[in-house]
Structure 1
Amino acid sequence: MRYSGEKRFSMWTSFSLIILAIFSVFIIYPLALVLYKSVVDPHSGSFTLDYLLKFFTKKFYWSTLVNSFQVTVCSTLLAALIGLPMAYVMRSVKIRGSSWLDILIVISYLSPPFIGAYAWIQLLGRNGMVTNFINELFGITFDGIYGFAGIVLVFTLQSFPLVYMYVSGALKGMDNSLNEAAESLGCGRVERIMRIIVPLIMPTLLASSLLVFMRVFADFGTPMLIGEGFKTMPVLIYTQFMSEVGGDDGFAAALCVIIITLTILMFFAQRFLANRSTYSMTALKPMAAEQAAGLKNMLSHAFVYLVVGLAILPQAVVIYTSFLKSNGGQVFTGGFGLQSYEATLFAKDNEVIWNTYMLGVISISIIVVLGILISYLTVRKRNVLNSTLDTITMFPYIIPGSVLGISFLFAFNNPPILLSGTALIMIIAFTIRRLPYTVRSGTAVIGQISPSVEEAAISLGASEMKTFTKVTVPMMMPGVLAGAIMSWVTIISELSSSIILYTNSTQTLTISIYTEVIRGNYGNASAYSTVLTITSILSLLIFYRLTGKRDISM
């Protein structure tokens, strides 16, 4: 939208150029440096493909890529197979306590996957509560959930809420008269679902499945904790770069290039498929939940309660074990006590908690400002420059956090921009990595605001900037806050990039949880995790309070 009398080079063009310059320094330059290091010999400075050949010619390395695809594909399919029927049942059948179940589903998604991993270790690990019960009951030796099956279990239960939230939003906007018309023509329930509902929500299902795919493919903590011999690409990248016997920067860079190429190809493939099957409709008669009876009612409630119970179980286990008596946070001795909290929150200076909140608040403040500006520019000031800006904004989302962390160390470990080891590099990484949530949410909401509202304000004498700050921004805020809450919670639970960038002075809660789990201090890890879980829940409740919503629209 270009207002009458607006100059070709305006204040908005300046904003676009400034943001693009920032992204060039903190996204394009680090990634270009990764590409450079992957094909240049560090000694001779000549072009080489040795690092890439090393990966593809040795099974030990390329098998990790196969492992990653196996885990990711299985987890994504299972998440879709659970999330889709969950959304349909919750939208079509009246479920007791559905509003609370929605909140529990969101909470289960907001928790970092690796917390779910170590919670399941306490349940189904070699010495887990459920494992011991099964072994004593059946007289067998169950070896736990380690490896492929355990990783898929954790990822599936942690990822299906994303599919659920997206599909639930799509069903909310679907015109149910189409479903009723098909029913009047003799279509059965299953046939209506497969031939009408699924095709209509397919773009949303593909979009949510892509997000699940990217998240699972890029996750480092879960396979690191319970993978044991089953290595994935993020774990290989981390171990190659951080090896105690001297990491190989060139090979780590080549691994980063491979994973960047794959994620970008998958991203554009999903967008192509989604664009081919896009539908637009107005929900003149939205789908409404109806009271079911008999077997259908019992099965619907049983299915929903079972899935939600399994999804929220890791958080319940974490909170429960944090109050068990322990020997220095390592061995649970029976009964309840506060030893885990005494060994963590009260026995230490708690810098990790302060760091988490401080870095998070600064990052989310920058994200909200940039998110509003970028959303406005890409929707209201459409041009090649802002389209480029919009595309670059998505890069950090589809690129694994470990890759971003390594690229930052490559780029900012030496003058003239020396940032490694500082809090600033953590803030920049968090901001760049979690900005897309707020940008996508802000873009969606401003697309629903009629330009005539802004034009009316300008016609009454308000300047364009005043119209933007007094009219547009307030109308955007509900959508921006929806994205901001996702950005905030994922910032405070970020592990993949921070595990590479942190120092002792910038250690956060997630890093502390991870290190305690690695040491076997499950009590201490539970105490830290409980603080993180309570923070996520309070953040969600504050969001509901500020916006008046009872869900996070996706």
Structure 2
Amino acid sequence: MSRFQFWRRWGGLDLLRWGMGLFFFVFLLVPLLSILLVSFTGEPVNLFGSLTNPSILQSTVEKLSGASLDGYRSLLEESRYYNALLNSLKLSTGVALWVTLMCIPMAYAFARTDMPGKKWFAALSTVPLVMPTFIAAYAFTLMFGQTGWVNHVWRAIGGDGVLFEIKSMLGITLVQIFFFFPYALWPMVAAFKAADGALEEASRNLGAKSGLTFTMVTLSLALPGILSAMLLVFTISFSDFGTPIIMAPKELNLIVVEAYREIAGFFNWSGSAILTVVMLVVAALFFWLQRLVVKGREYGTISGKPTAIRPVQHRGVITGMTIYTGVVLIIPLLAVGSIFLSSIATTWGHHALPNGYTLRHYATVFHSSSSHIANSLILAGGALLLSVVLATFLSYFIIRRGATKLDLLSSLPLVVPGIALGIALIQTFNTAPLQLTGTALLLIIAYTIRRMPYMIRSTMGTMMAIRKDIEEASVNLGASPLLTVMTVVGPLLLPGISAGAILVFVTVIKETSISILMAPSQWAPMSLAVFQNLLRGEFYTASAMSILIIALVVALQLLARRLTKEQLY
């Protein structure tokens, strides 16, 4: 085979594969390694500059020679850092436990009963997913703050003061419970549906009552799914930045807020690096535990065709679960309604309802913040295009070529909290020769790395359904493997690409931590504009832009559902 024939047959794809590996090495592995080194040296480390400039290399060597564990000792000795870690662990543990307990009845109702309105309840349970968490936190302050409408109602019926202090650990916990529960609900629904009904039927035939059968048999069969969902919620809660940054009082230290303050407020590279490494370790540990539960604790009972599960017919049980599900789902709806009322209010706070109504806040948004809307669309579009290219070829390499290393690299962002990734990228690309901090390019790359795993999982599922003989026929007719992937495999991947692309676009529009930490002023997206308006006290304008974000996300999710014909129940 001539050199030209070899290059034509294999060179293009091989070069592309190495290029993707280089992308992850430069923009993911090196930043994470850099932040680890900074946690030991206490000073910024320029790894890329060390490769091109001898003086920078000498400086880096000197810094590394002085590496120590002093920073980690200070984490244990300095009460502020130590308390931040403990508070974050307490918050995440409490949220995970309460979400799990709250979702068990709902999941059972969706999976095992003919609950009326199930289709509507399923649709409403997606409402928390369309709201960025910092907007959800603001919505709760409109409801439960000192001048919130809930407390106006509370005082009107004879109550005193406020129901509870919203800017507290309790307030943060409630927001996360009511806006993270869908992450646990649907895996638990699947767990209840997957269990074979034969053991439950046998339990009833042996005389066990329904309550005992549910406790001893049904819950045991669903336990792996329940534990997996609980660990997932813990990881999401621990990494959440939007809720604490809005609601955490000054005296309540949380690790994600402390990391942000160290880098954005004090430019303390050592403190932010140490907190970032701690966040990575904790998130990775619980993500690993979640995978371990799924893979290592399968309580399988299905052999052959599973026994059909009869829906629960007890009217009292169905009525109770319907009421319970409705009560849980109405809280996020009231939060969205509160944001909408604030967006059309002339003034609000003296009474339970606004003093008057106007649309001028929306006019203000379109007049003065149109650039933020355009920025969001451009940045999300850039991340979308990059994700499509990477995910298309990555899924091909992983499924067809068994590229396990690329699979691992593409999954790694799942365990990296957004604030941690942002700090790592800022530290790595803050100096020459790759001085990208403060540019739209690095922001798009950060969005892509953070959200690309969702895209890859979507395209991998479609990739596995494509027969190999289609590719072989193209190659046999003279096309190179690269041309085959682009012209044959790519079009066949369009269903998975479409679903994943919209998911990436939606999550980038909602992205909070990276936008707040990394977006330059000239490229500020809508999420950053809302955050800045809240800090400036421009609450009505912030509410109007929040409604626009929610409306855009809802429209895109409806489009994704139409393309993929997903069923939520």
TM-score calculated relative to the size of structure 1: 0.88
CA distance in 1, matches of 2:304, 2:494: 24
AA aligned opposite 1:126: Q
Structure 1 residue 526, shift from structure 2 partner: 0.9
CA distance in 1, matches of 2:333, 2:496: 26
Q: Which moved more, 1:472-481 or 1:511-520?
A: 472-481
Q: Which moved more, 1:26-35 or 1:312-321?
A: 312-321
CA distance in 2, matches of 1:199, 1:294: 25
- Counterpart position of 1:130: 150
- Counterpart position of 1:370: 390
Q: Secondary structure at the match of 1:258?
A: helix
Structure 1 residue 34, shift from structure 2 partner: 0.6
Distance 1:93 1:294, change over 3 A: same
- Counterpart position of 2:359: 338
Asked if 2 retains the 8 angstrom alpha-carbon contact of 1:360 and 1:488, the reply is: yes
Structure 1 residue 527, shift from structure 2 partner: 0.2
- Counterpart position of 1:39: 40
Distance 1:333 1:123, change over 3 A: closer
Question: Residues 516-527 of structure 1 correspond to what in structure 2 (within 5 A)?
Answer: 516-527=533-544
- Counterpart position of 2:71: 51
Structure 1 residue 72, shift from structure 2 partner: 0.5
Kindly indicate whether residue 195 of structure 2 is the aligned counterpart of residue 163 of structure 1.
Answer: no
- Counterpart position of 2:124: 104
Q: Which moved more, 1:395-404 or 1:189-198?
A: 189-198
Identity %: 26
CA distance in 2, matches of 1:302, 1:289: 22
Asked if 2 retains the 8 angstrom alpha-carbon contact of 1:111 and 1:533, the reply is: yes
Question: Residues 282-431 of structure 1 correspond to what in structure 2 (within 5 A)?
Answer: 284=305, 290=311, 292=313, 294-326=315-347, 334-346=355-367, 348-382=368-402, 386-431=403-448
AA aligned opposite 1:551: L
Question: Residues 27-106 of structure 1 correspond to what in structure 2 (within 5 A)?
Answer: 27-42=28-43, 45=63, 46-106=66-126
Q: Which moved more, 1:249-258 or 1:290-299?
A: 290-299
Structure 1 residue 302, shift from structure 2 partner: 0.2
CA distance in 2, matches of 1:289, 1:365: 46
Among 166, 189, 197, which residue is 1:145 paired with? Answer: 166
CA distance in 1, matches of 2:42, 2:311: 66
AA aligned opposite 1:542: L
Q: Secondary structure at the match of 1:85?
A: helix
Kindly indicate whether residue 500 of structure 2 is the aligned counterpart of residue 486 of structure 1.
Answer: no
- Counterpart position of 1:458: 472
Distance 1:304 1:289, change over 3 A: farther
CA distance in 1, matches of 2:212, 2:106: 18
Distance 1:442 1:86, change over 3 A: farther
AA aligned opposite 1:52: Y
Distance 1:160 1:369, change over 3 A: same
CA distance in 2, matches of 1:324, 1:242: 33
Q: Secondary structure at the match of 2:157?
A: helix
Q: Secondary structure at the match of 2:356?
A: strand
Q: Secondary structure at the match of 2:552?
A: helix
AA aligned opposite 2:451: R
Q: Secondary structure at the match of 1:335?
A: coil
Distance 1:457 1:61, change over 3 A: closer
CA distance in 2, matches of 1:293, 1:489: 40
Asked if 2 retains the 8 angstrom alpha-carbon contact of 1:12 and 1:377, the reply is: no
- Counterpart position of 2:50: none
TM-score calculated relative to the size of structure 2: 0.86
Among 287, 290, 295, which residue is 1:270 paired with? Answer: 290
Distance 1:166 1:488, change over 3 A: farther
Asked if 2 retains the 8 angstrom alpha-carbon contact of 1:99 and 1:550, the reply is: no
Asked if 2 retains the 8 angstrom alpha-carbon contact of 1:371 and 1:442, the reply is: yes
Instruction: Select the structure of larger CA radius of gyration.
Output: 2
CA distance in 1, matches of 2:311, 2:159: 47
Distance 1:302 1:15, change over 3 A: same
CA distance in 1, matches of 2:499, 2:208: 38
Q: Which runs of 5+ in 1 are unaligned?
A: none
Asked if 2 retains the 8 angstrom alpha-carbon contact of 1:124 and 1:130, the reply is: yes
Q: Which runs of 5+ in 2 are unaligned?
A: 1-5, 44-58
Question: Residues 480-519 of structure 1 correspond to what in structure 2 (within 5 A)?
Answer: 480-519=497-536
CA distance in 1, matches of 2:513, 2:304: 40
CA distance in 1, matches of 2:381, 2:151: 41
CA distance in 1, matches of 2:264, 2:212: 53
- Counterpart position of 2:23: 22
CA distance in 1, matches of 2:435, 2:307: 55
AA aligned opposite 2:28: I
CA distance in 1, matches of 2:75, 2:556: 43
Aligned Cα root-mean-square deviation (Å): 3.0
- Counterpart position of 1:230: 252
Structure 1 residue 86, shift from structure 2 partner: 1.3
Distance 1:457 1:390, change over 3 A: closer
Structure 1 residue 180, shift from structure 2 partner: 3.7
Distance 1:465 1:284, change over 3 A: farther
Distance 1:186 1:377, change over 3 A: farther
Asked if 2 retains the 8 angstrom alpha-carbon contact of 1:238 and 1:402, the reply is: yes
AA aligned opposite 2:255: M
Q: Which moved more, 1:434-443 or 1:534-543?
A: 434-443
CA distance in 2, matches of 1:90, 1:201: 14
AA aligned opposite 1:39: F
CA distance in 1, matches of 2:217, 2:12: 47
Q: Secondary structure at the match of 1:164?
A: helix
AA aligned opposite 1:323: I
Asked if 1 retains the 8 angstrom alpha-carbon contact of 2:112 and 2:192, the reply is: no
Structure 1 residue 25, shift from structure 2 partner: 0.3
AA aligned opposite 2:283: T
CA distance in 2, matches of 1:181, 1:482: 42
Distance 1:470 1:211, change over 3 A: farther
